[in-house]
């Protein structure tokens, strides 16, 4: 990956796995990265770890952004919070997902479809 110095990125589902590693690498390359996840309690330690790793290297930084893709209201709030910062968005990584979860989203979609597709679709359009 080339330099992301001065770029702004959002990574959904960034508190574990591929999303976590993507957020870390974007920050290492100089991006300001927003980790968009449901749980601040689970995400803040990842944000802190990324910021610790890149602190002395004049690289990017990480920040938590609340997002529950199963709730259109939450998706709208997330987009609004980001847009209020007045920052450009250069990279959006729609990584969050789930499988095998029974039930419906707040908007009445089957949970997996709602989170993996509809939530990301709305977020992308709002940003």
pTM of the model as a whole: 0.93
- Rounded CA-CA distance 17/13 in Å is 9
How much of the chain exceeds pLDDT 70, in percent?
A: 95
Per-residue confidence band for 58, with pLDDT thresholds at 50, 70 and 90: low
Instruction: State the Rg of the chain over Cα.
Output: 14
Measured CA to CA in angstroms, residue 85 lies from 16, 21, 65, 121 at distances of 25, 24, 11, 21
Q: What is the DSSP code (8-state) at residue 20?
A: H
Task: For residues 52-67, give the mean pLDDT.
Answer: 85
- Rounded CA-CA distance 12/94 in Å is 5
Please identify, in words, the CATH class of the domain defined by 8-126. alpha beta
- Rounded CA-CA distance 119/69 in Å is 5
For residue 62, give every residue at least 6 positions away whose Cβ sits within 8 Å of its Cβ, in sequence order, or none. Answer: 23, 27, 32, 33, 34, 35, 46, 47, 50, 51, 54
**What's the pLDDT score for residue 76?**
98
Find the helix or strand (DSSP H, E) in which 18 lies. helix 17-28
The residue whose two tokens read 């952004």 is: 65
pLDDT in tens, 15-37: 999 999 999 999 999 999 999 99
Domain locations in the chain?
8-126
Task: For residues 66-73, give the mean pLDDT.
Answer: 96
């Amino acid at each position: 990956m080339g330099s992301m110095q001065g770029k702004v990125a959002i990574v959904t589902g960034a508190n574990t796995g591929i999303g976590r590693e993507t957020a870390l690498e974007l920050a290492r390359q100089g991006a300001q990265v927003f980790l968009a996840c449901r749980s601040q309690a689970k995400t803040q330690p990842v944000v802190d770890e990324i910021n610790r790793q890149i602190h002395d290297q004049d690289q990017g930084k990480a920040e938590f952004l609340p997002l529950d893709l199963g709730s259109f209201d939450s998706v709208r709030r997330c987009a609004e919070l980001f847009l209020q910062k007045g920052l450009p968005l250069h990279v959006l990584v729609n990584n969050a997902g789930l499988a095998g979860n029974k039930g419906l989203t707040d908007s009445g979609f089957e949970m997996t479809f709602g989170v993996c597709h509809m939530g990301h679709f709305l977020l992308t359009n709002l940003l």
